[in-house]
Amino acid sequence: MYSLAQAKRAIRTPPLLFREANRLYHRRLNQREYNTGGVDVFAEDWDTLVLLDACRYDMFSDQSDLAGRLDSRRSRGSSTQEFLRGNVQGRTLHDTVYVTANPQLYWHRDWLNASFHAVEHVWMENGWDDQYGTVLPETTTARALEAAETYPNKRLLVHYMQPHYPFLTDGEESFTVGHSFLDPDEAGFWNRVMTGELEVDPDAVWRAYRATLDRTLPHVERLLEEVDGKSVVSADHGNMVGERARPFPIREWGHPRGIYTDQLVEVPWLVVDGDRRTIVSEPPAEDQTEVADAVVTDRLEQLGYV
């Protein structure tokens, strides 16, 4: 059900009204909470699974020169929250260590109720980069390699924040001048673009988006070279950059939940073979990791979620 405030906002903002209509279509009038036609990533064969946040299959296929066999899969979500709902909610994953630069698992930990052997929250204070308002890919790689050494007999799920916003353009003038949406302090900018509050140049978005993936791939390559076992590189979801959604052909931006266009749920599936690790399931040690809600919401805002 929708609140009165939500209904009024949708009526005042037609793009949001049509977005919600598209969501109802894809979710079959809310009869499913995630894309049930997507892959169950934990049922697949891998020792290390790398997730590139918001990485489209077509973009990855065009830009990546990582060694391996590239295919595609359909994701269970068009957002991280939905991906987690479809893959980890209520599951016991004691053979897996989750190294994540994304705060979503922690923020939704109560209702997700997932139990990993261990979770490394890279986005907390010691892994966060204040200049860019995100976790840099080299930081995620370093923490993942530490986890591989600490937990040699566990599956590794390594969740990079890139190429998700904020984009890593290193201040290149062609990407930044006149485009305030590239400011890492801008919160919720995809919705501002969607509603017309913020005007952007789609070509500039694409350049920044692609540059962020290019900036990330060498650090993924280092991880693949240094971890043992069979690895897969994939994504939690994709991203739309002004393409038409369906069935109502509005121009869509970002990665709204519950909309399963190809741009949002077709993700890469790059298989890299290696000498297999022996994987053992063991109960987790008690996790006392806590962080103030204000810190989490600040991180989410800088990442463009709020």
Task: Count CB-CB contacts under 10 A for residue 92.
Answer: 14
pLDDT score for 44: 98
pLDDT score for 176: 40
Pair of tokens at residue 101: 């630069």
Beta carbons of 129 and 136 less than 8 angstroms apart: yes
pLDDT score for 288: 67
Q: Could you state, in chain order, the average pLDDT of each consecutive group of 10 residues for the chain (306 residues)?
A: 58 82 92 95 98 98 98 98 98 98 96 96 91 95 98 98 90 41 55 84 94 97 98 98 95 94 98 96 82 88 80
Please give the Cα distance from 41 to 127 (Å, whole number).
26
Please give the Cα distance from 258 to 26 (Å, whole number).
6
pLDDT score for 3: 62
Reference 235, options 32, 45, 47, 60; nearest CA is 60
Give me the DSSP letters along 155-167.
EEEEEEEEESSSP
In this prediction the pTM is 0.91
- The per-residue b/e assignment along 183-193, b for 16 or more CB within 10 angstroms, e otherwise, is ebebbbbbbbb
pLDDT score for 291: 86
Architecture of domain 4-281+291-302: 3-Layer(aba) Sandwich (3.40)
Consecutive H or E run containing 147: helix 137-150
